[in-house]
Amino acid sequence: MALKGLDIFKLTPKTNCKDCGNPTCMAFAMKVAQGAVALDKCPHMSDDVKAQLGDATAPPMKKIEVGSGDDKFTLGGETVLFRHDKTFVSKNLYAVAVCENGIDEKLPEILKVDYDRLGERMYVEFLYVMYRGDAAKFAETVQKAAAEGRGIILEVTDEEAAKAALAVAGDRVILSGANASNYAAFSKLATDAKAVLGVSGASLDELYDTVTALEKLGNKNLILDVAGETVKETFANAVQIRRAALKDNDRTFGYPSLVNLHKVAHGDAHLQTALAALFTLKYGSIIVMDGVSYAQALPLYGLRQNIYTDPQKPMKVEPGIYTLNGADENSVCVTTVDFALTYFVVSGELERSGVPLNLLISDAGGYSVLTAWAAGKLSANSIAKFFKEQEIESKIKSRTLVIPGKVAVLKGEIEEKLPGWTVVVAPNEAVELVKFFKEFVKA
Amino acid sequence: MAFKQVPQKFTAKINPLTIGEGADAITLGGENVLPFYSFDAAIDNAPKIGIEISDNGYAANIPGIAEFYAGAETLPEIAKKAAAAPGVDFLAISMEGAHPDNGDRPVDECAKLVSDIAAVVNIPIVIEGSRNVEKDAKLFEKLAEALQGKNVLFLSAREENYKSIAAAAGLAYSQKIGAESAVDINLAKQLNVLISQMGVKTDSVAMNLGSAAAGYGFEYVATTIDRVKSAALAQNDNMLQMPIVTPVASETWTVKESIVSEEDFPEWGSSEERGINMEIATAAACLAAGSNAVILRHPESVATVSKLIAALI
Amino acid sequence: MGLFDRVFRGSAEMYQKAEEELAKVIAELGEDAQMQMPDTAYFLSCIYAYLGKKVTKLSELRDALAEIKGKMTTNYRTTDVFSSGIGTAMAAEVIEATKYARTPTPYEGTVYHGHFSDAEVRELGVPLVTQDIPGFVVVIGPAPSTEEAVNLIKGYQTRGIFVFLIGGVIDQAVEAGLSMGFPVRVVPVGQEIWSVGHIISLVERAAMIFGAVQPGDWEAFNEYSMARIFAFVNAYKPVADIVVACGGGAIAMGFPVITNDTDDMWRVPKSLIIQEDTEDFIETSLEARDIKIKITNIDIPVAFSTAFEGEIIRKADMRVDINGARFDCFEWVRSQEAKDIEDHQIIVDGPDIADIEPGGSMSLGVIVDVAGKNMQPDFEPVFERKFHNFLNCIEGVMHTGQRDMIRIRISNTAFEAGFSIRHIGEVLYAKVKSEYDTVVDKCQVTLVTDKAKLKELRAEANKTYDKRDLRLRAMTDENVEVFYNCILCQSFSPAHVCIVTPERLGLCGAVSWLDAKATNELDPNGPCQVVTKKRVIDERVGAFEDVNEAVQKYSHGALQQVTLYSILEDPMTSCGCFECICGIEPISNGVSIVNREHTGVTPLGMTFSEMASMTGGGVQTPGFMGHGKHFIASKKFLKAEGGVARIVWMPKALKETVRERLNESAKELYGIDDFCDRIADEDSVTDDPEALLAFLTEKEHPVLAMEPLL
């Protein structure tokens, strides 16, 4: 159980010196409890206290960083098994497997998928390069892969080949090759190269023992390859490892996981889509696939974005004018909130109506219509303010504004704040919008 | 020191719910572990897959579907083809054409259509509503009568019309009821309580907790299913122990990613591939969260999800 | 002669007739002749239900009749009346069955329906179970006149009640040319009284089909019909012994009998009701069987929809202005005895809109009288507060305020469409009856516009308001039996559960203990459930075992325990919709409270939204807690930590809202005057705890003398 803010506060100097950048020790303590600020930001706490708190505030699952600086990848650091218990912290990342001599044909396909969804860049974060016996080819492929600005995972158990590849892999690299027989040497390789070490084992017991041994060597910068012989075994491993760490407080397994679908579902792209979805929900940190086409990326990245949203911080879309179905300045205006789900559902229905419309999204704090209204984030004032800021009246000639049915109560007030506009109330539910606008156009 | 496994086997379990008759009958639910956690305890009944057609036939707008159903002219022929697709466990018939704004097919005509299907299909049948609560109330009463003895699951009993559906389908004709709520554990539970107060036994009820396509608020679906399963198993809440049936296709085949043409979005590639992947990913995510059955449209999705289930159980 | 004797005699009469008819048919067809009712899987279902016997041939029918005779006991106890009554019904079924032994269609070519098929039972059963058909009536007789018969039948039809006719009333319906049959819900069953057997057969089959009641379980059948089948009997005089005996059976099944016969008749409360005025049969019957009629449409000349909720009526468009700030106006719900009010009566007392000059003003007192067995005076304000929503949904009507500070504007367009004061009553009647159907049986609306009468009425209404306020103020957590939970906001905050007590309202500020109570009683499966408080763990912090169990249950296991009065020990969780947050300010050992509207920083160095992000989501955060504005002045606020004296900082606006009551509480608890003046606000201190301490010292704030919090 994580420490409460109040417990941390008791151990602060309580001087409100602001050296940590927070106005009070209480504010600092609360942020530490949330994991928003690191304990060492306070220069006045004794090392004893920090050590004492450090253990208690350390997450049961380690947060592993691949690389350093702004473009590093962060994995793990989870505290709960279910997102409703709090929130998931580090989204899973996707990798594509390439053979030591297969990169040239695959690379263009991999690079093609690179787009933005609600402010998040969607692309294949890692290339998973597999050593097949030719160290020079392997290094060459790794170098090519690294040049594309993606993280690199090296699947290699040959020490020399690993060493050569590490030299050209860049700084965002995972050396996935430690096992029961070579862990000491590979640990050194990884540590020297500042790489994260990937560990595998023939069974959970063997993996557990290897991790224990690595930790004894002082290497806690690990990621666990959970792949078994079959899909079933792989899933069992992924769940048991995460569950042991978070529910049963077994910190030996408190590391992110690597799920290799190339290994257990080779050649079946559709099955890989299904499995990637499964492991996105249940405890894959990096999911390795044979390839990620647009057709696979669209649902998988969308799913990941959903699952890794903070339940308390809803996804938002940018406020502004969205023209639909070829709308122009004379088209009717429709307004709703900037909550991403509302936007998607409403814009989808509006598009289906085929009616040209200007969809006006104002800043409503990312809440749904009723919540935003109840919180005062959606009001006649907020809409009027939005109209002024965006200079709607100079951009659009239509003077008809359709508002969500659930805030029918705002109609009169909006009409008062926006003289000259006719406010029309839409139905309560989005599914009724198509019919509503089809009839609206007729009338 | 070896890894100490701590299996998480619950004393409570999900109600087993059998639908259909005879050798082709299937059972949903019955497990006492989280989805696919067969390493904790054996799972007797693997999740099931339904293939969806409607009273209007098959969804001709879905690429590749017309080829699959080629040669099938009448609804019973279409149904037979659907039922024979590899991986299919049950046939789902959506009564979309009965919606007042979408053809308003009369109740008697609907009853005739489903009877004709039932006459040629042996696998269990699940009826989905028209999405109009008033119409469904009248419609299900007639369909329940027309499908007497077939042990059909009637999804889409909602807060507004559960009384009629529970009375007609659940009590008068001893069919199975699916309680439909909109991704909210408390509403789901309340509806189950209300249906059981009508006299329908809880082991005759399934839940449709609502659905969404991947990327479209799926976190609510996942979280609702997570919470329902956890309340059912860990809290032994017998008003949430019904198996979960999730219609997936109706959500995934309407989102932009599945429907925009390749001409409009050339870099996205084949729309059929996009639609199939969206359907597969969403279905897999539902099953991972805890659905005991999913309803799909594309035969390739059915085949793939069936492979997924086989690989995990 | 006593009622018992009449039942026993009628029962014997029915038996004798059955014996005769059975002997006749056995003589004709032989005792091995097949005996089955058409289109049913339930044999002779009265006999099957009550005796568990499957009759398939005449000899078995004879054996059954012998058993029936055994049920017709005459020991002058109530059970004998019931048993004989049911026996009479079964004997009636025997008589009718003899007809079907000869032909499956004995009533062919007549107006009579006779036996009901299983399909018909299901067709009627479904709407009966769902209460889409609120009930059915069996009318026996001829009515005093054909006209009256027609009025009665049509009266039931318009209320959605299914009508079965037996005897002379059928001739009257035929004479009047009334359309009859299953689809129009008026079915002429048969001429003789024994055709009642068909109706009882229908009831028993409904119990077997819809209630899974097992054949032979006598008691269970009566219990089922009593609880689930809303039927009753109207018997016109003269009521013969044999009809009285049938009535005994009806009563045993939970179906009251209403008659205008007074000869040799005895009143039995809720069961045998004498209503001499036959024109009142319908109302008397519905009341006797607790049948409530659903209101589906509102009879007004303008539209009614939530789309009009936000409509503003400007002065230029206004036909009339009703302004409680200038004249005597009020809205007042009163609980009444059922006998004192008439359902759906709408009285307008005084001038109407048409009598006022365009753009002028008028006064209006709205009195809504409600009656119902489950109605409680505590619901009155709950209804009243909803009037605002109800009236605002009328196209062309704008409503604000409540109690005697209401303001209503009615537009020219609405007036031209025919809207009058009466229609306000129609809307309130329809909404109150439909929204609160679980507690309101009858509703009557009086709209007083006569200025002369309003002054006095307003004063009276004010007395009620004062009394209610007083009651609310006098309610404490100790003097109520139970608390309630509220999980309305779990869709945002899955693990959060509010425990609502008289002294601690929901943290959204919108759900008081009375609201929660009303919500629970109006919607027993809804978001507010009873939480008992019998097992105290620690009075000081407000910890109860029952409360903890409730919290575990309704958070689906996410939360184990809460206290009601402490911010440090297992404080209540917060969703996201709290009005205020308070958090510990360690330097002063007090708490800062900040309301949602205040955007500035607090002496804790955090703003409302920063604190909210740490406190929300149903997670326990000792030292921080979300709450409603009105909780601030409560004597239970931070009771475990010493009470309201811990409050050291509040935004000015919030302070003004709670000033009066908070000062009162502080006076009562600590004997301090003008406590609020000692609390800092954004004018004196923003984010500097040292300045806060200086301020508190200067004002001699009581917190300085209190124990350290941490």
**pLDDT (tens digit per residue) in A123-149:** 999 999 999 999 999 999 999 999 999
- Tell me which H or E stretch contains C378: none
CATH number, domain containing residue A327: 3.40.50.11600
Which of residues 591 through 610 in chain C touch A, CB cutoff 8 A?
596-597, 601, 603-606, 610
- The closest of B57, B85, B13, B31 to B234, measured between CA atoms, is B13
Helix-helix angle B271-289:A294-307, to 10 degrees: 30
Task: Count Cα neighbours of C257 within 13 Å in the Cβ-side half-sphere.
Answer: 26
Pairing of the two strands A257-260 and A222-225: parallel
Q: Residues of C with CB below 8 A from B171's CB?
A: 129, 209-212
**A319 burial via Cβ count (<10 Å: 0-12, 13-18, 19+):** middle
Q: Taking CB atoms and an 8 Å cutoff, what residues of chain A touch B33?
A: none
Under 8 Å between Cβ of C255 and C232: yes
Distance CA C379, CA C403 (A): 14
Residues of A in contact with C597 (CB under 8 A): 376
Q: Tell me whether strands C397-400 and C407-411 are parallel, antiparallel or unpaired.
A: antiparallel
Pick the CATH number of C306-463 from 3.30.1650.10, 3.40.50.300, 3.40.630.10, 2.40.50.140: 3.30.1650.10
CA A366 to CA A343: how far, in whole Å?
A: 10
Q: Where are the beta strands (DSSP E) in C534-610?
A: 536-538, 543-544, 580-585, 590-595
Residues A235 and A331 in one domain: no
Give B-chain residues touching A255 at CB under 8 angstroms.
none
Judged by CB atoms closer than 8 Å, whether chains meet at B185 and C556 is answered as: yes
pLDDT digits (tens, 9 = 90+) for C455-483: 999 999 999 998 988 887 888 999 999 99
Q: State both tokens at C658.
A: 């709670």
The owner of tokens 């890692």 is A126
A9 touches chain C (CB under 8 A): yes
Query: What values do phi and psi take at C601, rounded to 5?
Result: -85, 155
Contact (CB<8Å) A375/C687: no
pLDDT 10s digits, C383-397 = 998 899 899 989 999
Buried/exposed A287-307: b ≥16 CB within 10 Å, e otherwise? bbbbbbbbbbbbbbbbbbbbb
**Residue C369 phi, psi dihedral angles, 5° rounding:** -95, 130
Nearest to C210 among B145, B172, B235 (CB): B172
Rounded mean pLDDT, C666-676: 93
- Structural domain tally of chain A? 3
Position A2 scores a pLDDT of 47
CB atoms within 10 A of CB C13: 17
Please state the rounded mean pLDDT for residues C511-529.
86
Q: Are residues A104 and A204 in the same domain?
A: yes
What pLDDT band is residue A3 in, cutting at 50, 70 and 90? low
Asked whether residue A251 falls in the same domain as residue A325, the answer is no
Where are the domains positioned within chain B?
18-312
DSSP conformation class of C74: -
Of A240, A274, A293, the CB nearest to B308: A274
Average pLDDT, chain B: 94
Instruction: Enumerate the residues of chain B whose CB falls inside 8 A of the CB of residue C212.
Output: 171, 199
Is residue A313 one of the residues assigned to a domain?
no
DSSP per-residue letters across A373-395: HHTTSSSHHHHHHHHHHTTHHHH
CB contact (8 A) between residue A299 and residue B270:
no
CB proximity list for A153: less than 8 A, separation 6 or greater: A95, A126, A127, A128, A129, A173, A174, A176, A198, A258, A286, A288
CB contact B219 to C (< 8 Å): no
Alpha-helical regions (H) of C338-450: 380-392, 412-416, 421-435
Q: Which residue of C has its CA nearest to A28?
A: C605
Structural domain of A16: 5-57
Q: Look at C211 and B199 and tell me if their CB atoms are within 8 Å.
A: yes
- Note whether B74 contacts C: Cβ–Cβ < 8 A: no
User: CA end-to-end span of chain C, whole Å?
Assistant: 84
- State whether A151 and A278 are in the same domain: yes
Q: How far apart are the C-alpha atoms of A166 and A184, rounded to whole Å? A: 17
CA dihedral A145, A150, A155, A156 (to 10 degrees): 60
The pLDDT of residue C378:
86
CATH number 1.10.8.190 is the correct assignment for the domain at C3-102? yes
| A165/chain B closest Cα distance in angstroms | 33
Question: What distance in Å separates the CA atoms of residue B117 and residue B76, rounded to the nearest whole number?
Answer: 5
Beta strand segments in A108-156, E: 114-117, 120-123, 126-130, 151-155
Beta carbons of A23 and C597 less than 8 Å apart:
no
CA of C603: which chain A residue's CA is closest?
Answer: A24
Classify the phi-psi angles of B94: left when phi > 0, otherwise alpha if psi is within -120 to 50, otherwise beta.
Answer: beta
pLDDT band at A302 (very low <50, low <70, confident <90, very high): very high
Q: Which residue of C has its CA nearest to A11?
A: C710
| Domain C118-288 part of CATH 3.40.50.2030 | yes
User: Is C617 a residue whose pLDDT tops 70?
Assistant: no
Q: How far is CA A95 from the centre of its chain?
A: 14
pLDDT score of B173: 92
**Interface residue C56 vs chain A (CB under 8 A):** no
* DSSP character string of B46-69: --EEEEEEETTBS-TTSTTHHHHT
Greatest CA separation for chain B? 70
Looking at beta carbons, which residues of chain B come within 8 Å of A296?
A: 277, 281
- Interface test with chain C among B171, B195, B220, by most C beta carbons within 10 Å: B171
**A422, closest residue in chain C (CA to CA):** C311
Q: Is A78 in the same domain as A193? A: yes
Do residue A372 and residue A415 come from a single domain? yes
Instruction: Round to whole Å and give the CA distance between A354 and A433.
Output: 11
Closest CA relative to residue A22, chosen from C610, C623, C617, C587:
C610
For residue B153, give the nearest of B284, B243, B58, B237 by alpha carbon. B243
- Contacts with B220 from chain A: Cβ below 8 Å: 341
B172–C contact, CB cutoff 8 A: yes
**CB-closest option in C312, C604, C624 to A412:** C312
Say if residue C283 is exposed, middle or buried (CB neighbours under 10 Å; 0-12, 13-18, 19+).
Answer: middle
How far apart CA A371 and CA A115 sit, in angstroms, is 31
What order do you get walking across the sheet with A332-336 strand by strand? A320-324, A357-361, A332-336, A400-403, A422-425
Burial-class residue C181 by CB neighbours within 10 Å (0-12, 13-18, 19+).
exposed
From A35, A57, A79, the end of a domain falls on A57
A208, B218: Cβ pair inside 8 Å? no
Average pLDDT of the residues of chain C: 92
How far is B94 from C549, CA to CA, in rounded Å? 42
- Nearest-CA neighbor of C431 among C394, C378, C404? C394
Asked whether residue A97 is assigned to any structural domain, the reply reads yes
> How long, in residues, is chain B?
313
pLDDT digits (tens, 9 = 90+) for C566-605: 999 899 988 767 889 999 998 899 999 999 888 889 998 8
CATH of the domain at A80: 3.20.20.20
Identify all chain A residues contacting C604, using CB atoms and an 8 Å cutoff.
24, 26-27
Contacts of residue C649 in chain A, CB cutoff 8 Å?
Answer: none
The verdict on residue A337 lying in a domain is yes
Mutation target vs A (from C304, C595, C604, C690; most A CBs, 10 A cutoff): C604
Task: Answer yes or no: are the C-beta atoms of C427 and C298 closer than 8 Å.
Answer: yes
What integer best gives the mean pLDDT of chain A? 91
- When pLDDT is cut at 50, 70 and 90, the band that residue A1 belongs to is very low
Q: Alpha carbon of A193 to those of A69, A131, A167, A223: distances in Å?
A: 16, 18, 8, 16
Q: Is there a domain that residue A331 lies in?
A: yes
* Each residue's pLDDT tens digit, C326-374: 899 999 999 999 889 999 999 999 999 999 999 999 999 999 999 998 8
Q: CATH code at A51?
A: 1.10.15.40
Alpha helices (H) in C501-623, listed in sequence order:
513-522, 545-554, 608-615
Cβ-Cβ contacts under 8 Å, B267 against chain A: 112, 294
Architecture of domain B18-312: Alpha-Beta Barrel (3.20)
| Shared domain check, A101 and A87 | yes
> In terms of domains, do A53 and A70 share one?
no
pLDDT in tens, B142-163: 999 999 999 999 999 999 999 9
pLDDT in tens, B274-305: 999 999 999 999 999 999 999 999 999 999 99
* Residues of chain A numbered 305-344 and touching chain B (CB < 8 Å): 305-307, 309, 311, 341, 344
A345 touches B: beta carbon within 8 Å: yes
Residue C614 forms contact with A (CB below 8 Å)? yes
CA distance C433 to C215: 39
Overall size of chain C counted in residues? 710
Interface of B with A in 69-88 (CB under 8 A): none
Q: Which stretch of A173-187, A358-372, C21-35 has the lowest confidence by average pLDDT?
A: A358-372
Give the residue from chain B lying closest to A343, CA to CA: B216
pLDDT of A422 > 80? The answer is: yes
* pTM score: 0.83
Instruction: Please indicate if any CB of chain B lies within 8 Å of the CB of A368.
Output: no
The domains of chain C are located at 3-102, 118-288, 306-463, 482-705
The angle subtended at Cα C38 by Cα C37 and Cα C42, nearest 5°, is 60
Residue type, A47: D
- pLDDT bin (cut points 50, 70, 90) of residue B1 is low
Q: Which residues of B158-193 are buried (b: 16+ CB within 10 A; e: fewer)?
A: beebbbbbbbbbbbbbebbbbbbbebbbbbbbbbbe
Measured between beta carbons, which residues in chain A are less than 8 angstroms from residue B215? 117, 298-299, 301-303, 305-306, 344
Cβ-Cβ contacts under 8 Å, C494 against chain B: 185, 223, 227
Burial of C407 (C-beta count, 10 Å sphere; 0-12/13-18/19+): middle
The total of other beta-carbon atoms located within 10 Å of residue B260's CB is 14
Q: Which of B211-225, C5-19, C609-623 has the lowest mean pLDDT?
A: C609-623
Residue A312 lies in a domain: no
- Chain C nearest CA to A437, separation (Å): 15
* Ramachandran angles phi, psi of A403, nearest 5°: -115, 160
**Identity at C483, one-letter amino acid code:** F
SS (H, E, C) C22-68: HHHHHHHHCCCCECCCCCCCCCCHHHHHHHCCCCCEHHHHHHHHHHH
Nearest-Cα residue of chain A relative to residue C613:
A312
Q: What CATH number should be reported for the domain whose range is C482-705?
A: 3.40.1470.10
**Helix C78-102 / helix C58-71 crossing angle, nearest 10 deg:** 160
Min mean pLDDT across A155-159, C37-41, C59-63, C268-272 is at C268-272
User: Cβ B214–A231 below 8 Å, yes or no?
Assistant: no
What pLDDT shows up at residue A340? 84
**pLDDT by residue (tens digit) across A191-218?**
999 999 999 999 999 999 999 999 999 9
